[in-house]
Amino acid sequence: MSTEAHIVADIQESEFNTLLTQEKILVVDFTATWCGPCRLISPLMEQLAEEYQGRAKVVKVDVDNNKPLFKQYGLRSIPAVLIFKDGDLVEKIVGVSPYEEFSGAVEKLL
């Protein structure tokens, strides 16, 4: 079974705001097609989406298509993974990190 189905890719700002209000735990991967390090964490995001399916929602936001969203959270570099609980930003992981850092951040919110 493909893990791709678990991640909502390239969401837009309106969709993001809707998910923020609907999802208990939302993991947002700010990425770009030209970003090498982003490609390194992409499989980790897929693994996270699969492992926490039904408990956390993982989405990708392309920074080139969503600059206001990127700026709204004071981000200056990618990859950047933001984790929200009940609509509040609770964790910001910038740069390439091991899977355990992402899964640990989600785990403590469950």
The residues annotated with a catalytic role in the active site are: 35, 38
Alpha-helix runs per DSSP H in the chain: 13-22, 36-51, 67-72, 99-107
Q: Give me 28's structure tokens.
A: 């947002």
What is the residue whose two structure tokens read 């969401």?
A: 11
Q: Cα separation of 34 and 47, whole Å?
A: 22
